[in-house]
Structure 1
Amino acid sequence: MENININQFKVNESIQLKNVATTFDLGARKKAIEKELEEVREKLGDFQNTIYAHGKYAILICIQGMDTAGKDSMIREVFKDFNTRGIVVHSFKVPTELELNHDYLWRHYIALPARGKFGVFNRTHYENVLVTRVHPGYILGESLPDVKSIDDVNDAFWTKRFRQINDFEKHIVENGTIIFKFFLHLSKEEQKNRLLRRLNRTEKHWKFSPGDLKERKLWDSYQECYEDAINRTSKSHAPWYTIPADDKPTARYIVARILYDTLIQYKDIVEPELEADIKKNIGDYIKQLENE
Structure 2
Amino acid sequence: MTKHLAPVPLGERPDLDDRDAAPPRWAPDRDDLRDATHELLDRLGELQASLYADGRRALMVVLQGRDASGKDGVIRRVFSALNPQGSQVARFEAPTPLDRRHDFLWRVHAVVPPHGIVGIFNRSHYEDVLVARVRGLVPESTWRRRYAHINAFEQLLADEGVVQVKLCLHISREEQRQRLLERVDDPSKNWKFREGDLDDRALWSEYTAAYRDALAQTSTTWAPWYVVPADDKRARDWLIADLLVRTLERLDYRPPVARPELVAKWRQALTGEA
TM tier, shorter chain?
A: over 0.9
| 3-state SS of 2:257 partner | coil
Structure 2 residue 190 is matched with structure 1 residue 205: yes
3-state DSSP of counterpart to 1:125: coil
Alignment check: 8 A CA contact 2:167 2:228 kept: yes
Q: Which residue of 2 aligns with 1:276?
A: 260
Correspondence 1:115-154 to 2 at 5 A: 115-136=115-136, 138-139=137-138, 153-154=139-140
Q: Which runs of 5+ in 2 are unaligned?
A: none
1:90–1:111 contact (8 Å) kept in structure 2:
yes
* SS of equivalent residue, structure 2 residue 210: helix
1:181 partner amino acid: K
Following superposition, the deviation at residue 282 of structure 1 comes to 4.8
TM-score, with structure 1 as normaliser: 0.88
Amino acid in the other structure paired with 2:217: R
Aligned twin of 2:245: 260
- Kept in 2, the 8 Å contact 1:134–1:225? The answer is yes
In structure 1, what residue type is equivalent to 2:255? E
Partners in 1 of 2:262 and 2:19 — Cα distance? 55
1:176 to 147, 161, 180: 161
Q: CA RMSD in A?
A: 1.7
Q: In structure 2, which of residues 3, 6, 9 is the aligned counterpart of residue 5 of structure 1? A: 3
Give the superposition deviation at 1:222: 0.3
**TM value normalised by structure 2:** 0.94
Measured in 2, the distance between the counterparts of 1:173 and 1:61 equals 13
Segments of 4+ moved more than 4 angstroms: none
Amino acid at match of 1:279: V
Residues 19-68 of structure 1: per-residue CA shift (max 9 Å, x gap): 861112424124x2122212111111111111111100011000000000
Alignment of 1:22-171 (within 5 A): 22-24=21-23, 25=25, 26-30=27-31, 32-136=32-136, 138-139=137-138, 153-154=139-140, 156-171=141-156
TM-superposition CA deviations, 1:135-155 (whole Å, max 9, x none)? 12x23xxxxxxxxxxxxx12x
Please say which of residues 258-267 and 180-189 is displaced more in the overlay. Answer: 258-267
Establish whether residue 226 from structure 1 lines up as the match of residue 188 from structure 2.
no
In the alignment of these two chains, the number of paired residues is: 270
SS in 1 for 2:81: coil
**Residue 9 of structure 1 contacts residue 243 of structure 1 at CA under 8 Å; is this kept in 2?**
no
What amino acid sits opposite 2:3 in the alignment? N
Matched position secondary structure for 1:115: coil
- The answer on whether the counterparts of 2:87 and 2:118 sit within 8 Å (CA) in structure 1 is yes
Q: Deviations over 1:192-223 (max 9, x none)?
A: 11111111211111111122111100011001
CA distance in 2, matches of 1:250, 1:87: 23
Structure with more contact order per residue of length (Cα contacts < 8 Å, sep ≥ 6): 2
**Whole-Å separation in 1 of the counterparts to 2:195 and 2:172:** 20
Q: 1:18 to 1:29 in 2, by over 3 A?
A: closer
1:4 CA displacement: 6.3
Displacement of 1:262 in angstroms is 1.5
Amino acid in the other structure paired with 2:7: K
Identity between Structure 1 and Structure 2 (%): 35
Q: How far off its partner does 1:170 sit? A: 0.3
Contact 2:132 2:143 in 1 (8 A): no
Q: Secondary structure at the match of 2:163?
A: strand
Shift of 1:278: 1.6
